[in-house]
Amino acid sequence: MIGVFDSGLGGLSVLAAIAHALPRADLAYLADTAHVPYGSKTDGFIRGRVLAIGRHLVARGCTTIVVACNTATAAAVQALRAELHGIPVVGVEPGVKPAAQESRTRRIAVLATESTARSERLARLIREHAQNVHVHIEPCPGWATRVETLHLDGAQFAAEVRAKLEPLLAAGADRLVLGCTHYSFLKPGLAAICAGRAELVDVAEAVARQAVRQAGAAAHGSARLTLLATVRPERLRAALPHLGLSRLAERAGPAQLAVV
């Protein structure tokens, strides 16, 4: 079984890509809804949650773990790999490399949580893969919560998003990196603002390809999806159709409470 987790709903964008790439795999998705959002928490807190959830998923029988959260990856993927010695752990990092390679204006922007925005891991990613490109890092507090509450549109939020993006676009950024898995679900609104000026860069499918490479025997199962949440699990399953993920709901039984 492949275990995928995030603070909440965001990692479902990665889960959907994995389910598409591995239609027979047994999957478990854990949303740490008791502690969402991670983006405003300390590194130490996030690390504690990541280690506890990783151990929990392995105890449930997962043989590959996907950290479907940029914030958790930046804060704790190394610690998790050390903890789960021998179990493949796939992380998510903002698509700085493809954005830098594809940018024609040599200006890109990374939209991320506050925690990812200040992380050393993102700074290193930029040093290694975007040396000759101007990279603007834009923290987007509140956006993940917006997705959690399924308030994906609405005039006030649209105006807030536009106010954030317009200066980046006016400065010439032609690639906007979605540096938080929750932001995949904001794509229609973001794309409408960027139309003809910039492309959005999402790494969900690249992460799924990496999960396929690491999955081994976990790629072959009976297509079961176990949904877990640390509080109010019923909301996780109910959210799927609102996020355009009804096909995932077909694979899942009722969501369960995970005591982690």
**Residues with a known catalytic role:** 69, 180
Query: According to CB under 6 A, which residues from 211 to 240 bind ligand DGL?
Result: none
CB 34 within 8 A of CB 58: no
Residue 179 C-beta: closest distance to ligand DGL, Å: 7
With binding defined as CB under 6 A, does residue 144 bind ligand DGL? yes
With binding defined as CB under 6 A, does residue 185 bind ligand DGL? no
With binding defined as CB under 6 A, does residue 37 bind ligand DGL? yes
- Beta bridge partner(s), residue 139: 112
CB 28 within 8 A of CB 62: yes
Mark 175-192 as b/e (b = at least 16 C-beta within 10 Å).
bbbbbbbbbbbbeebbee
Residue 152 C-beta: closest distance to ligand DGL, Å: 15
Alpha carbon distances (Å) from 190 to 158, 164, 197 = 9, 11, 11
Using only the alpha carbons of the chain, give its radius of gyration. 17
Which CB sits closer to ligand DGL, 18 or 219? 18
Binding region for ligand DGL (CB under 6 A) out of 175-183, 184-192, 197-205, 229-237: 175-183
With binding defined as CB under 6 A, does residue 6 bind ligand DGL? yes
217 exposure class (CB count in 10 Å sphere: 0-12, 13-18, 19+): exposed
| Contact string (CB under 6 A) for ligand DGL, positions 93-122, x = contact | --------------------x--x------
| Three-class secondary structure of residue 104 per DSSP | coil
Binding region for ligand DGL (CB under 6 A) out of 32-40, 98-106, 149-157, 242-250: 32-40
Tokens describing residue 166: 């317009």
With binding defined as CB under 6 A, does residue 184 bind ligand DGL? no
Residue 105 C-beta: closest distance to ligand DGL, Å: 26
Position closest to ligand DGL via CB: 39
Mark 67-99 as b/e (b = at least 16 C-beta within 10 Å).
bbbbbbbbbbbebbbebbeebbbbbbbbbbbbb
List 71, 103, 184, 214, residue binding ligand DGL (CB under 6 A)? 71
Binding residues vs ligand DGL (CB under 6 A): 6-7, 10, 36-39, 69-71, 113, 116, 144, 180-182
